[in-house]
Amino acid sequence: METVSENASHGGVQGVYRHRSEACACDMTFAVYLPPQAQQGRVPVVWYLSGLTCTHENAMTKAALQGHAALHGVAVIYPDTSPRGEGVADDDAYDLGQGAGFYVNATEAPWAPHFRMYDYVVEELPGLVGANFAIDMERQGVTGHSMGGHGALTIAMRNPDRFRSVSAFAPIAHPSTSDWGRKQLAAYLGEDREGWKGHDACLLLAERGWHSDLLIDQGASDQFIDLLKPESLAAALAATRTPSVFRMQPGYDHSYFFVETFGGDHIAWHAERLGV
């Protein structure tokens, strides 16, 4: 693992690191914020999964989570959103290929050799950070924005023994019925919709449920709201009687200004459930 940069932030350290990924068969870059409490011992962690076109850097520099993480004594990890580099398949569209991994393990050509973001986020990267940073891997939460909100919800529901808490900002909630989802799931996983069910939060709620509660924030003025399907997620939460706080935030759009505004609420909510 190579250290790209480390900067002091709110008494802790914001670092960026690079390593060779076996899951994605390429070099991957990720960021870790360690709060000052990590100097005394291991701290719980919140994973932040980013949205379409983003890298590890967008939320690290725009979401302003470091101060909240320092206040509550939690680490924050920002993975990249896809494999990248020479020889990695891509597409001219912004919503497929590099920057648009959708947190699945691709089975279809040309994506299958590298696009294994589910294994990367669930298995490989946790092993790496657990071995190299003062992070308590028994206390993990996950959140994300847009495509990353989709990833947070689906990964948590598929791994309830791994994650104690999950929240999301404007998640792609029902991708199997949305133009942000059908295209990508078909490209990465094939046309058989049975294979899509494990990557759709609404369908997973009906099939598996969730062992705790959820926090969802959605901007009421989000320019992509019809693609996100928040009404489907609200209906699924009600149908499964899942304890949840679902907030439609008036006037807010899909930008990082929205994430930054409510990021402190999410970090505090995770910290409480992670036993801080």
Rounded to the nearest 5°, which phi and psi values hold at 32?
A: -135, 125
Beta strand 12-21 with 2-9: parallel, antiparallel or unpaired?
antiparallel
Q: Which of 80, 200, 217, 222 is catalytic?
A: 222
Measure the CA–CA gap between 45 and 33, rounded to whole angstroms: 9
Residue 134, exposed/middle/buried by CB under 10 A (0-12, 13-18, 19+)? middle
* Residue 54: HSE in the Cβ half-sphere, 13 Å Cα cutoff: 28
- Respond yes or no: is residue 212 known to be catalytic: no
Measure the CA–CA gap between 167 and 267, rounded to whole angstroms: 9
- Respond yes or no: is residue 254 known to be catalytic: yes
Q: Which of 50, 82, 146, 167 is catalytic?
A: 146
Distance of CA 210 to the CA centre of its chain: 17
- Respond yes or no: is residue 222 known to be catalytic: yes
Q: Which residues contact 238 (CB under 8 A, 6 or more apart)?
A: none
Helix, strand, coil percent content, the chain, rounded in steps of 5: 35, 25, 35
Q: Which of 68, 254, 266, 270 is catalytic?
A: 254
Measure the CA–CA gap between 249 and 232, rounded to whole angstroms: 17
Residues marked as catalytic: 146, 222, 254
